A and B are shown apart, each in its own frame.
Chain A
């Protein structure tokens, strides 16, 4: 069975510092995709970044990067130069790619607070 674990229920970080949000996963699929979503207090879910298990390089999107360590089954999100607007709930998610019917599964989330 597939599983996503986010061990940090909440984090407080000073503005302008870098942030690492942890995510570990478990799957038996040889091919899978990993996602991060942001949910601000407004409630919308915003897709941030994805990483394919077959990708040789870590994914980057602006200030977001994914520290993908396949052997450790971890896919941590790194936010550089944090901003007050980064305060939100962050969800890690995964989907197997071997079966077209596989569904995406989410972790329980990490609530990030950026302090001025």
Chain B
């Protein structure tokens, strides 16, 4: 079946512009995560959606970052007034949820370059 997809795969933008990154999770997965990964570094948690619960936004680095998830499926991560330090790979992951041990399935990522 289809895995997690992300678009675009690469995005180059000028400093100060807004960008939107899209994530299509696996059908039926109620949990969706966004991470940021700088070159050679670990995963930085950004935001977590779980079903109809209020999203966990505790990882968003500033108010320039926001995300939404429409209809419990597709999610969009928006970065306003991009800065050079926003350059990174943005990874999306989805999983089943509940009290079971469910692994995450990751998308291929969007490589964002702010010039």
Contact = CB atoms under 8 A, between A and B. Distances in A.
Interface of A: 31, 33, 35, 37, 43-45, 47, 50, 52, 91, 93, 95, 97-101, 103-109, 111
B43 A91 contact: yes
Contacts, number: 57
Contact of B50 (A31, A103, A105, A109): A103
Contacts of A101: 50, 53, 56, 97
Interface residues of B, number: 26
In the complex, which of the residues B41, B43, B91, B98 has the most CB atoms of chain A within 10 Å of its own CB atom? B43
Contacts of A99: 99
23 contacts: A31-B99, A35-B103, A37-B104, A43-B108, A45-B91, A47-B103, A47-B105, A50-B101, A91-B43, A93-B104, A97-B100, A98-B99, A100-B50, A100-B97, A101-B56, A103-B31, A103-B33, A103-B45, A103-B48, A103-B56, A106-B45, A107-B42, A109-B43
B109 A47 contact: no
Contacts of A108: 41-42
B104 A43 contact: no
A52 B101 contact: yes
A107 to B, nearest CB: 7
Nearest to B47: A103
